[in-house]
Structure 1
C-alpha cells in the first residue's frame, strides 16, 4: 500500500487504528517486555560471527580528534520517570557557515544493540564538520511499537530546538540509521510531522521532519515479498517482539509500521547504503520509484560480499563515511 498525498493523514490514521484494534482476533502480547536489557547484539558479538566468513575485517575503534568535543548522557526527553539520553559530538573549529546535524540511530532488531556502537561513526563525521547525536530509545524489552518511533521523533525535535547552541542549520538535519535504526530513519523521513506518530511528550512545539535520510541496511517494508522479517518458525522474530503481534495475527499493523507505506512527495532525499544481504533492503526499489516519480534525489551504494554489520568494520567503514559525506554535501550544497 502506497499512500498518496490526498487525505494522507486520514488514510494513515484509519489503517493504523484499525490495525491496532480491529481485524484480528488475537490479543497483543507483552511477553517480550521483560524490563531486562537484551545485550545479545553488540559490535563484539557481530564481529565474532562475521569474522568466520570475513577473516580480514577489523572493528573500528573510537577516535580521538583534537577538533571534536563530546558531551555524553544529555537528557533529551523524560517519559514518566524514564530519562532518555543522547550524546553529542561536534567540531570546535570556527566556521562562518552553519553546519549540518546528523542523528545516528543504532540497530539491533528494535530489541538490542546500543548507541555506543556508533561512537566511531559520530566521531569521524564530527571531524569532517558535522554535528552528530547518538540517542538511545526504548527497545522492545521496555515498550512496544510505536514507543521507539515517538522517542526518535522527540530526538529530532530536541535537536532542531538546539540548533543555535550547536551552531547548525535547523533545516539541515539528517537522520541516519543502521539495520533497525535504518528502518526507523526511513520511517522518520516518510512520516515527518504526522500527528499520529508524534507522541504526546517532549518538544511538541518543534518540527520532527528530517531534511535528509541515510538508511544503512534497514528494511523499507515489513510485508514486502523480498523481506524475511516475521519468520517465527524457529524463534520469535524481532518484529513480532516489537509489535506484540505476529505478521499472521495482525498484518495491517506490520504494513502500517513500514516506511514504504508512506513514501511520498514530502519524503526527503535518501541515501541507501547496503550489504550483500538482499532481504535487508526489502522494498528499496519500490521506494525509489516513488522518490523518482516525485523528483526526489536518492542514491544507492551496495558493498559486494559485505555482511549485514559491515558499517562497524573496515574495509567498509571508511567508504561508508565517504558516501555519507558526499551525499550530504550534494544535498545541502555545502
Structure 2
C-alpha cells in the first residue's frame, strides 16, 4: 500500500520505534485526476485566505498510550467575542485522506466568524473502529478545554465531515450519550457534545438497501477494513456505526450536502424522516451531475461553503 511512514513511539524501559505505513491513496490530487475525466472544467478549490485569519498548526490534542500524538489545526480571527466552533473531519474511506485537504474550507469558515478546527484521527491501517470516533470525541473535548484561548462558545459546536468524515460527523452528533465512544485518556472532564452536524456525502446506514458498502468480492472493502470484519461476520458492528440507529430527541440539527452518487448518502431520507418525527431541523441539498469528491473542487466549493455558513448561522442564530 503506498504511503509515507508514520513513526509511533512505543513505551517500554527502552524507547522503541516502529513504523506504520500510512495509506496515501486518497488525496486531493488523486481525486482531481479521477473527477476531471468526467468534469474537465473543474479546478482544485484554493481561495485566498480571508484577511485577518490566523492559524495554529500541528497542535497535539492527545498523547495516546505508546506515545502516539494526535494533532489538529485551528483557524480563527483574534477577538474577545465568543464564536461558534466547527470541527472538520476529512474523508478517505476511513483508511486514507488527511486534515490538510480541508484547510481551504477551514480558512473560509474562519473568515465568516467561526473557529474552524481540522483534526486527524487514527485510520483503519493503524486502529480499527471505534478508535476514529473516540479520537474525534477527544478532539471535541480538547476544543472545549481550550475554549478561552480561541474565544469559543462551548454551547455552539458543530462537526462538518466529508465522505467517511461525514459518516463520522453524523455518528458524533447522534451518540452524545453513548459511553462506548467516550474512551480516551485526555480531557475527560469536558463534554464532547455537538449542537449541529454537516454531513457531506457520508453514509448514514451501512446495512441498508441503498448502501454499496461491504462489497468484498475484489478484496476487503474500505468498511470491512475499518470494522476488521465483513458485514456477514460482524453485522452488529456495521449496525452500531450507523448514525441512523442512534437518532433520538438529543440529536442536533443536520445539514446534508450530497453529490449525484446516491449510495454515498445511504439512509439519509430515512434519517430525515426520523428527525422530522422528533421536530428536529434538517436540510438536504443535492448537487446534480457531481462526483463524490465535489466539495474539494470549483465550481462546487463556494456553494458548499455558503450552504454551510447559512445553516450554521440559522442553527446558532449567529449575528
**TM-score, normalising length: structure 1:** 0.88
Residue of structure 2 aligned with 1:151, choices 135, 151, 156: 135
Task: Kindly state the Cα deviation for residue 191 of structure 1 after the two structures are TM-superposed.
Answer: 0.3
Task: Kindly state the Cα deviation for residue 61 of structure 1 after the two structures are TM-superposed.
Answer: 1.9
Higher relative contact order (CA 8 A, sep 6+): 1
- Provide Cα deviations, 1:14-42, integer angstroms capped at 9, x if missing partner: xxxxxxxxxxxxxxxxxxxx921000000
State how far apart, in whole Å, the 2-side matches of 1:218 and 1:130 are: 23
State how far apart, in whole Å, the 1-side matches of 2:233 and 2:47 are: 43
State how far apart, in whole Å, the 1-side matches of 2:48 and 2:99 are: 15
Contact 2:49/2:108 (CA < 8 Å) preserved in 1?
no
Alignment of 1:34-73 (within 5 A): 35-61=20-46, 63-73=48-58
- Provide Cα deviations, 1:101-147, integer angstroms capped at 9, x if missing partner: 00000000000000000000001111111100000000011001111
Cross-structure match for 2:110: 126
Contact 2:135/2:184 (CA < 8 Å) preserved in 1?
no
State how far apart, in whole Å, the 2-side matches of 1:236 and 1:200 are: 28
Task: Kindly state the Cα deviation for residue 63 of structure 1 after the two structures are TM-superposed.
Answer: 3.3
Contact 1:189/1:267 (CA < 8 Å) preserved in 2?
yes
State how far apart, in whole Å, the 2-side matches of 1:243 and 1:62 are: 36
Contact 1:42/1:117 (CA < 8 Å) preserved in 2?
yes
Q: For structure 1, list consecutive stretches of 5 or more residues without a partner in the other structure.
A: 1-33
- Provide Cα deviations, 1:242-295, integer angstroms capped at 9, x if missing partner: 011001111111111111110111100000000000000000011111111111
Q: For structure 2, list consecutive stretches of 5 or more residues without a partner in the other structure.
A: 1-18
State how far apart, in whole Å, the 1-side matches of 2:157 and 2:144 are: 8
State how far apart, in whole Å, the 2-side matches of 1:90 and 1:190 are: 27
- Provide Cα deviations, 1:277-326, integer angstroms capped at 9, x if missing partner: 00000000111111111110000011001110000001000000000000
State yes or no: 1:258 paired with 2:242. yes
State yes or no: 1:244 paired with 2:228. yes
RMSD over aligned Cα, in angstroms? 1.1
**TM-score, normalising length: structure 2:** 0.92
Cross-structure match for 1:202: 186
State yes or no: 1:78 paired with 2:75. no
Alignment of 1:1-334 (within 5 A): 35-61=20-46, 63-80=48-65, 81-92=67-78, 94=79, 97-334=81-318
